[in-house]
């Protein structure tokens, strides 16, 4: 299995529990998916991204990792991805474009709730760049 990480599951941003969960991932390769990326403010004042996949959408940047060693149930729990009506995310298989122009598939955590009114569009579809350019910081994570 492969994981497309576009936000707080990227090594440069992962803290606390997120860093523990992604420890088994390989270094990954730059990759993109089609969709729209938004930022939401978390309870600690930090920000986290939400991905709305859309084959006709813009480009969302991230890393594609071999995730064969990942504890998927723990990752799903961290991302609040479950079958209940109050889930925040769902783990979905998406088409992922690699830098050399080839396409493959990978799983990504996609937002499943209605878009919140305070969600901020992330121009360019790169969460880390958006944080740096706006002077914001990533959410510390959930335990």
Q: For residue 116, what are its two tokens?
A: 């919140």
Tell me the CATH number at 85: 3.10.490.10
Answer whether residue 53 is part of any domain: yes
- Residue 61 in any domain: the answer is yes
pLDDT 10s digits, 39-92: 999 999 999 999 999 999 999 999 999 999 999 999 999 999 999 999 999 999
Residue 95: partners with Cβ closer than 8 Å, 6 or more residues away: 33, 34, 55, 103, 104, 105
Kindly tell me if the per-residue pLDDT of 114 is higher than 80. Answer: yes
The number of distinct structural domains making up the chain is: 1
Structural domain of 24: 2-134
Residue 69 in any domain: the answer is yes
Classify residue 139: in a domain, yes or no.
no
């Amino acid at each position: 299995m492969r994981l497309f990480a576009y936000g707080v599951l990227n090594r440069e941003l992962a803290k606390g529990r997120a860093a523990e969960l992604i420890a088994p991932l390989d270094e990954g390769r730059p990759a993109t998916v089609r969709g729209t990326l938004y930022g939401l403010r978390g309870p600690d004042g930090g920000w986290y991204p939400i991905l709305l996949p859309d084959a006709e959408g813009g480009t969302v940047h991230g890393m594609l990792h071999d995730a064969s060693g990942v504890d998927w149930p723990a990752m799903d729990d961290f991302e609040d991805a479950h079958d209940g009506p109050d889930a925040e995310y769902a783990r979905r298989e998406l088409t992922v474009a690699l830098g050399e122009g080839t396409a493959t598939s990978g799983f990504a955590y996609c937002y499943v709730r209605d878009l919140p009114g305070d969600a901020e569009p992330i121009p360019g579809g790169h969460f880390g760049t958006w944080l740096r350019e706006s002077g914001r910081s990533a959410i510390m994570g959930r335990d």
